[in-house]
Amino acid sequence: MSGIDLDDFGSLVERPDAGLRRDSQDRWRELVKPADGLGKPAELADWLSAVQGEVPARPLTRPRVLVFAGDHGVAALDVSARPAGTASTLAGAVLDGTAPVSIVARQLGAQVRLVDMALDCDPAGLPADVTAHRVRRGSGRLDVEDALTRDEAEQAFRAGMALADEEADSGTDLVLLGDLSVGGTTVAGVLIAALCGTDASVVTGRGSGIDDLAWMRKCAAIRDGLRRARPVLGDQIALLAAVGGADFAAITGFLLQSAVRKMPVVLDGVVSAACALVAQRIAFRAPDWWLAGHASGEAGQAKALDRISLSPLLDHAVHSGGGTGALLALPLLQAAALLSAELPA
């Protein structure tokens, strides 16, 4: 496999049209009195106009929830309330429609797509379209070994790019990004602490609902991961191979290619925030194409979003993961688009 030239993203990712954003702002001043009477929905409509390339903004008719799934070797250290290697159970709930994200998506008219990147289970037990991009079964224990080989990291990154192209080509007009894993918040903590230059304790959260002893184990695992991450900070593929995972590499590739394709994305919790932080290191304009759907309560998420200058749209104390928090922001965005499209001039 030939190496990925990450420098290309710096030139391929353009900013959303600032002129159209100003045109949308001017339009509100004529349509609504007082001019700021619609508050946040009007601001979001301005953003939608910029990313869609037209004023007024178009209604959002084809939203998609994309959930990346994987298991992480670091979960063997009992850093999660869930047993290591059991993310397939969470994935099964998405597939049978009983997961929170599936239930809310049905009500809001959004399709859910599950992508198995590295679940620790027999792929024969999952639909072929779910496992089509799988890179490996689980990942290495990041505190003592690489999570992936470099080839595996590149394969996962390219898979994320391909998925972004598929969604853009199919007409998806907004992606609500989700993730399912066991051990994923520990991986996210390593990446965020490394890229923000902070200590493990600052980014170690409660994740799946761990107690104090598990929190201490998680903090120690993140510190060990940091020692392995710091030497490769200048090479983002090497970083994702050393202390990431196939799901993290795929999400990073997806976020960057979505920005190239001018497809807006709503981030979910700490995992997508960590991947966004990696992606921002590769293409500094890419965050202009993303929104932070909600505040999950994880300190690492807050640290990462602050670094990439994104403010959460909602704060409802949702931290179940799986894309539910990002999906809850969809009605606000739909309302913003409809107000822009349908308010009479």
Per-residue confidence band for 247, with pLDDT thresholds at 50, 70 and 90: very high
For residue 63, what are the β-bridge partners? 174
pLDDT over 50 at 1, yes or no? no
**Could you tell me if 179 and 323 are in contact, meaning their C-beta atoms sit under 8 angstroms apart?**
yes
Give the list of residues 6+ apart from residue 63 with CB closer than 8 angstroms, or none. 108, 109, 110, 111, 172, 173, 174, 175, 176, 330, 334
**Could you tell me if 222 and 193 are in contact, meaning their C-beta atoms sit under 8 angstroms apart?**
yes
Where do we find the tokens 């991986």? 187
φ, ψ dihedrals at 343, nearest 5°: -60, 130
Whole-number CA gyration radius for the chain: 19
What is d(CA 58, CA 150) in angstroms, rounded to the nearest whole number? 41
Per-residue confidence band for 10, with pLDDT thresholds at 50, 70 and 90: very high
pLDDT over 70 at 2, yes or no? no
What's the whole-number average pLDDT of the chain?
96
Per-residue confidence band for 27, with pLDDT thresholds at 50, 70 and 90: very high
Per-residue confidence band for 3, with pLDDT thresholds at 50, 70 and 90: confident
CA 178, 180, 181, 183 torsion: positive or negative? positive
Per-residue confidence band for 129, with pLDDT thresholds at 50, 70 and 90: very high
CA 156, 161, 162, 164 torsion: positive or negative? positive
Looking at CATH, the fold of the domain delimited by 63-330 is given as Rossmann fold (3.40.50)
Where do we find the tokens 């499209």? 341
